[in-house]
Amino acid sequence: MTRTGGALGPTAPAGTWHDPGALRALRTLHRSGKLAAEYGAVRGLLARMPPADLPAAGQLLSRVDPRTVRRHAPDVAVVAVAVTGHSTVAPVVAPLTAELARHGLLLEARVAPYGAYLQDLMRPPAEGLPQVTLCLLDAHTVFDDVTVPWRVEDVESAARARLALLGGAVRAHQEAGRGLLVLNTVPLLRRFTHQLIDLRSRARLGAVWREFNCGLLALAERYPGVVTVDLDPLVGEGVPACEPRTAQYARARLSDALLAACARETAHVVRASLGRGRKVLVLDLDGTLWGGVLGEAGPDGVELGAGLRGEAFQEFQRVVAQLGSQGVLLAVSSKNDEALVREALRGHPAMLLREDSFVRVNANWKAKHDNLRDIADRLGLGLDGFVFADDSLFECGLVAERLPEVAVVRVDDEPALHPSALLADGWFDLFELTEADLARAARYRTEALREEFREDVGSYEEYLEGLGIEVTLRPPGEADLARVSQLTLRTNQFHLATERLEVPRVADWLERPGRHVIAVRARDRFGDHGLVGALFLRRDGGLLRIDNFVLSCRVFSRGIEGGCVAAVLDFARSTGADAVTGRYLPSPRNAAFASFYSDHGFTVLDRDPDAADGKHGKHAVHFRHDLATRVPAPAHLRLDAAFGPFDAPRNGQGEQS
């Protein structure tokens, strides 16, 4: 965002967080025919756009040919979505286009014919499969099977039959390996409940309908590649479920407003599936976590706990604490005196977030964007994993301008609205919460002890030797699959082939002959790092291929990556392999490790057999180690590796993936 005009850019009026000129700028690009060529500016425009303008923005963006955008912006992440459902589903494309674009994603949509969802889900897999299938359901999914006159028992029978059909279709979709499937629960409309004139029957119909929706939600528990978006919270907050005229005349049985809300939730799901969820929440203090100005009121004088506004600030702290309990790292960036801040965090009787709730407290008079950079550096995390919440229009605008990769949440002067503002975008959504998530904050606090130890020793070599690092390599158990998947989804820097694998695909690797998934665990004198990495290996004739290698940024530069390669080479040698190959696929975030394999004794190959048909990416670089020399693990590591029994492919000739 430029600052040639107001605080938020040339078209932003003073004191306004959202810029009403952003939609005008998008329309100007569209009218000039430059929208595809200037697609890199779209994300910033959408970030500044009032929510009410997003549907109109989606209409403009959905008219742009994705192929043209890709010619101008070849690095843009493309998400292919097949949209299907029981009724008319095309109206969801425009809002979904805008919602995905807000997260830097380009939609390639394929809309199915009216009512073809069961066939769509059950048809055999084909080339060019979508990454995501969005299947929209509505009340007619059940009521189209109910004849007039009807009783509750008829609806119950139809709902159970429809749920059974859906279950079979979902199973077929998932067993065919057709990617992520997004379903939705179905709102029960008053037009159906009030066709029953006795109250007991209405109550029974409500129970039957909730049982049907419970069945849809259970599909997401049964299949890791399925997500069911619950529409009840959206309808409960006032989003209309249906517009009677479009429902009757266009067979669009979900309202435009509900489709837009569902599109937003779906975009959050897609973002999570691509590993783009956020990890760190950085909070302002005055006017955000408590009312009043600490420097003027003192630690005992801020609004918190007592009075209506004080209770509202305390409720917001409760919401933040809930996020923190699930592995979101909490930090503070506040223009305040540090001693006063720590006194308030330690001593205020109504404070729910204490000093040890935060992995970093930056209380000083530096610019907020500089503090955010400092927190990111100290945590060793990219700023694209950060969310910043502040009540100041100026601070929000400045951070958004200087650090566009940070998600900015502006909370206003009404603390009762703080929770909804923070939760509106599902920034921290995950597919599955793991033990590593729950232990994350404690591990980052332990990292501070390591830093203190680092400052006390003379050299980095002494530091590594003194850590007493132990590395264990084993095939993952069933309970580890979610964490292995999460590493592939969320790790960007040491991710050599940048393959994003949901849990079913990780499980598929484990089940195939000739393949190995190896989980990497690490600990040292200060504590257990947990499961920090994964190797994906494939036996192909005389070759052992490292198809992917991912390692958490928390354990960079401690020799663990070198120990893993040494273990793989030893395993290959012990199982009679002729050579080991590695694959590096460049991405915007992994460039620092482009020479990783070369640094560990591999030579670059001119070409690779798998590269001929593009299966491993046309820009991939392939490396080979002929096993003529042994590569020892770093001396400071205690390495314990057991890859399991050697299991060759059934055909004995290797496999193609």
Q: Is 90 exceeded by the pLDDT of residue 641?
A: yes
Side-chain half-sphere of 559: how many Cα atoms within 13 Å? 22
Q: Is 80 exceeded by the pLDDT of residue 458?
A: yes
- Alpha-carbon distances, residue 217 vs 205, 207, 570 (angstroms): 18, 15, 46
Residue 85, phi then psi, degrees to nearest 5:
170, 180
Residue 2: per-residue pLDDT: 35
The owner of tokens 């009783």 is 151
SS (H, E, C) 18-60: CCCHHHHHHHHHHHCCCCCCCHHHHHHHHHHCCHHHHHHHHHH
Residue 91, phi then psi, degrees to nearest 5:
-60, -15
Q: Determine contact, residues 55/260, Cβ cutoff 8 Å.
A: yes
- Report how far residue 384's alpha carbon sits from residue 493's, in angstroms, rounded to the nearest whole number: 12
Lowest mean pLDDT among 246-255, 497-506, 615-624: 615-624
User: Residue 453: how many CB atoms within 10 A of its CB?
Assistant: 15
Average model confidence (pLDDT) across the chain = 89
Residue 389, phi then psi, degrees to nearest 5:
-120, 130
Return the closest-CA partner of residue 41 out of 77, 2, 93. Answer: 2
Per-residue pLDDT of 178-227, as tens digits, reads 889 999 999 999 999 999 999 999 999 999 999 999 999 999 999 989 99
Per-residue pLDDT of 77-124, as tens digits, reads 899 999 999 999 999 999 999 999 999 999 999 999 888 899 999 987
At residue 408, the 3 state secondary structure works out as strand
List 622's β-bridge partners, or say none: 583
Side-chain half-sphere of 487: how many Cα atoms within 13 Å? 31
User: Residue 18: how many CB atoms within 10 A of its CB?
Assistant: 16
pLDDT bin (cut points 50, 70, 90) of residue 126 is low
- Alpha-carbon distances, residue 486 vs 127, 141, 386, 481 (angstroms): 27, 34, 18, 8
Residue 655: per-residue pLDDT: 44
Residue 330: per-residue pLDDT: 96
- Which tokens is 274 given? 């691509």
pLDDT bin (cut points 50, 70, 90) of residue 445 is confident
Residue 606: per-residue pLDDT: 66
- Report how far residue 415's alpha carbon sits from residue 611's, in angstroms, rounded to the nearest whole number: 56
Which residue type does 566 have? A
pLDDT bin (cut points 50, 70, 90) of residue 16 is very low
Q: Determine contact, residues 82/110, Cβ cutoff 8 Å.
A: yes
DSSP state of 211: H
Rounded to an integer, the average pLDDT of 464-486 is 92
What are the DSSP E strand ranges found in 257-345? 280-283, 329-335
Residue 646: per-residue pLDDT: 62
Residue 83: per-residue pLDDT: 96
List 517's β-bridge partners, or say none: 536
Residue 443: per-residue pLDDT: 82
- Alpha-carbon distances, residue 17 vs 20, 182, 287 (angstroms): 9, 33, 16
Q: Is 50 exceeded by the pLDDT of residue 6?
A: no
Per-residue pLDDT of 322-333, as tens digits, reads 999 999 999 999
Residue 341: per-residue pLDDT: 95
Rounded to an integer, the average pLDDT of 9-30 is 67
Which residue ranges form the domains of the chain, and what is each CATH number? 1-75 (no CATH), 77-273 (3.40.50.1110), 280-423 (3.40.50.1000), 462-641 (3.40.630.30)
- Which tokens is 436 given? 């590593």
The owner of tokens 């935060």 is 358
- Report how far residue 136's alpha carbon sits from residue 452's, in angstroms, rounded to the nearest whole number: 54
Rounded to an integer, the average pLDDT of 282-300 is 94
Rounded to an integer, the average pLDDT of 644-654 is 50
The owner of tokens 């919401």 is 319
- Alpha-carbon distances, residue 10 vs 44, 367, 523 (angstroms): 14, 22, 52
Rounded to an integer, the average pLDDT of 283-294 is 95
Q: Is 50 exceeded by the pLDDT of residue 3?
A: no
Q: Is 50 exceeded by the pLDDT of residue 32?
A: yes
- Measured over the CA atoms of residue 341, residue 347, residue 348 and residue 351, the dihedral's sign is positive
pLDDT bin (cut points 50, 70, 90) of residue 466 is very high
Q: Determine contact, residues 341/363, Cβ cutoff 8 Å.
A: yes
Rounded to an integer, the average pLDDT of 59-68 is 92
Q: Is 50 exceeded by the pLDDT of residue 551?
A: yes
The pLDDT > 70 percentage for the chain reads 92
307: left (phi over 0), alpha (psi -120 to 50) or beta: left
Return the closest-CA partner of residue 529 out of 635, 639, 444. Answer: 444
Tell me which of 507 and 606 has the higher pLDDT. Answer: 507
Residue 130: per-residue pLDDT: 64
> Vertex 504, ends 562 and 538: CA angle to 5°?
40
Burial grade of 413 (CB within 10 A; 0-12, 13-18, 19 or more): exposed
Per-residue pLDDT of 341-352, as tens digits, reads 999 999 999 999
Q: Is 50 exceeded by the pLDDT of residue 419?
A: yes
Residue 434: per-residue pLDDT: 81
List 522's β-bridge partners, or say none: 471, 530
pTM of the entire predicted model: 0.79
Rounded to an integer, the average pLDDT of 240-258 is 94
- Report how far residue 544's alpha carbon sits from residue 516's, in angstroms, rounded to the nearest whole number: 10
Residue 555: per-residue pLDDT: 87
- Report how far residue 39's alpha carbon sits from residue 72's, in angstroms, rounded to the nearest whole number: 8
User: Residue 618: how many CB atoms within 10 A of its CB?
Assistant: 10
- Which tokens is 541 given? 């004739």
Percent of residues in the chain assigned helix, strand, coil, to nearest 5: 45, 20, 40
- Report how far residue 42's alpha carbon sits from residue 25's, in angstroms, rounded to the nearest whole number: 10
Q: Determine contact, residues 85/135, Cβ cutoff 8 Å.
A: yes
Q: Is 60 exceeded by the pLDDT of residue 241?
A: yes
CB-based contacts of 84, cutoff 8 Å, min separation 6? 111, 112, 116, 117, 120, 121, 133, 134, 135, 136
Per-residue pLDDT of 353-393, as tens digits, reads 999 999 999 999 999 999 999 999 888 888 999 999 999 99
Q: Is 80 exceeded by the pLDDT of residue 8?
A: no
- Report how far residue 16's alpha carbon sits from residue 607's, in angstroms, rounded to the nearest whole number: 55
- Report how far residue 463's alpha carbon sits from residue 444's, in angstroms, rounded to the nearest whole number: 18
Q: Is 70 exceeded by the pLDDT of residue 1?
A: no
Residue 310: per-residue pLDDT: 94
Return the closest-CA partner of residue 534 out of 461, 462, 493, 485. Answer: 485
Residue 371: per-residue pLDDT: 96
User: Residue 362: how many CB atoms within 10 A of its CB?
Assistant: 22
- Report how far residue 297's alpha carbon sits from residue 400's, in angstroms, rounded to the nearest whole number: 29
Return the closest-CA partner of residue 527 out of 462, 433, 441. Answer: 441
The owner of tokens 């006017």 is 287
- Report how far residue 497's alpha carbon sits from residue 485's, in angstroms, rounded to the nearest whole number: 14
User: Residue 345: how many CB atoms within 10 A of its CB?
Assistant: 21
